[in-house]
Amino acid sequence: MKPAAFDYHRPETVQAVVELLESLDDAELLAGNQSLGIVMANRLATPDHLIDLSGVDSLSGITVTDAAVEIGAMTTHRTIERSDRLAEVLPMLPEAAEQIAGPAVRNKGTIGGSIGEADPAGNYPTALAALGGTLHLRSAEGERTVPVEDYFIAYMFTDLRENEIIEAVSIPREAYPVDRTGMAFVELKRAAQTWPTVSAAGAIRVDDPGESEPTIETARIAMANAADIPLRVPDAEAVLEGEPLSAAALDEVADIVTESVTPEGEMHADREYKAEVAGEYAKRSIRTAHERAIDAADD
């Protein structure tokens, strides 16, 4: 099937984008077209207008300051995957990017498109929920910021208003000093280029990586494809914080995550299996993040 007819617009500034969103009825934003194209080809979406964001240069790029990392909505998965600066300061994001689909999707797909799509299996929504990211949204009325954790409301339903664009995402760096922090994004997949059965994002900050058993100061755990939204699991984080890592704590993390998730069953993975695997992958993400936090002191 082919998409239904639509009018095509290619503005060159964010201001022009939001003015189009304000003035047009039934308009859809187009980013890398890796998801929207499939939906439109199947006529599950038949917008009257497509607003292509590829002409808006200001929406692409990664800015790292001492305080925060900001990533423009049109930054591709490939750019994030290959960013040396991100690998240094927030390595969870390149690790999440490199596991998305295959190179063709990663070359064109964007972080804004992934957040706009709002699939609970998506890599960035979960990584950003773990890292405490904030979304910068703009409409003709002005700008507002929304924490990632408040943005995802229900299955593929978000706080984004019809006349708004996601302009950028930012992540504060204060909680993640590079010499004491480890991060990991781990996935269970049936095949390399498919969506994950379940994924886990884990981050650990320790007090002194030179110690044989450093205390965990901060732990963050979020799960993908394990609920109808990206799911952070604060109860599991609380088990880890204030103590050195132990096998018993890791087992408790796995149990809490398994109890907390509410996954949908799939053809190859029923709910019980996904819940069990979610616990195991949360544990793996934390174990790896902890190893990396200790190694961070040597880098």
Ligand X SMILES: Cc1cc2nc3c(=O)[nH]c(=O)nc-3n(C[C@H](O)[C@H](O)[C@H](O)COP(=O)(O)OP(=O)(O)OC[C@H]3O[C@@H](n4cnc5c(N)ncnc54)[C@H](O)[C@@H]3O)c2cc1C
Question: Binding ligand X by CB under 6 A: which of 30, 69, 186, 236?
Answer: 30
Q: How far is the CB of 292 from ligand X (least distance, A)?
A: 22
SS3 122: coil
- Whose Cβ is closer to ligand X: residue 31's or residue 275's? 31
- Whose Cβ is closer to ligand X: residue 38's or residue 248's? 38
Q: How far is the CB of 126 from ligand X (least distance, A)?
A: 8
Interaction between residue 29 and ligand X (CB under 6 A): yes
Binding pattern for the stretch 244-283 against ligand X, x by CB under 6 A and - elsewhere: ----------------------------------------
CB atoms < 10 A from the CB of 175, how many?
Answer: 14
Q: How far is the CB of 101 from ligand X (least distance, A)?
A: 3
Q: How far is the CB of 33 from ligand X (least distance, A)?
A: 5
Question: Binding ligand X by CB under 6 A: which of 114, 134, 258, 285?
Answer: 114
Q: What one-character DSSP code corresponds to residue 244? A: B
Q: What is the DSSP string of 15-47?
A: HHHHHHHHH-SSEEEESS-SSHHHHHHTTS---
Binding pattern for the stretch 146-185 against ligand X, x by CB under 6 A and - elsewhere: --------------x----xx-------------------
Chain-centre distance for alpha carbon 26: 27
CB atoms < 10 A from the CB of 145, how many?
Answer: 11
Q: CA 245 to CA 248: how far, in whole Å?
A: 9
- Whose Cβ is closer to ligand X: residue 91's or residue 196's? 196
Q: How far is the CB of 163 from ligand X (least distance, A)?
A: 11
Interaction between residue 113 and ligand X (CB under 6 A): yes
Question: Binding ligand X by CB under 6 A: which of 60, 79, 83, 123?
Answer: 123
Task: Name the residue among 193, 257, 268, 262 with its Cα closest to residue 226.
Answer: 262
Interaction between residue 110 and ligand X (CB under 6 A): yes
Task: Name the residue among 268, 284, 106 with its Cα closest to residue 193.
Answer: 106
Instruction: Assess contact for 72 and 59: CB atoms under 8 A.
Output: yes
Residue 29 CB contacts under 8 Å (≥ 6 apart), including other chains = 17, 21, 50, 51, 53, 116, 165
Is the Cα torsion angle 237, 72, 96, 195 positive or negative in sign?
positive
Binding pattern for the stretch 48-67 against ligand X, x by CB under 6 A and - elsewhere: -----x--------------
| Residues in contact with ligand X by the rule CB under 6 A | 28-36, 53, 73, 100-101, 105, 109-110, 112-114, 116-117, 122-123, 160, 165-166, 193, 195-196
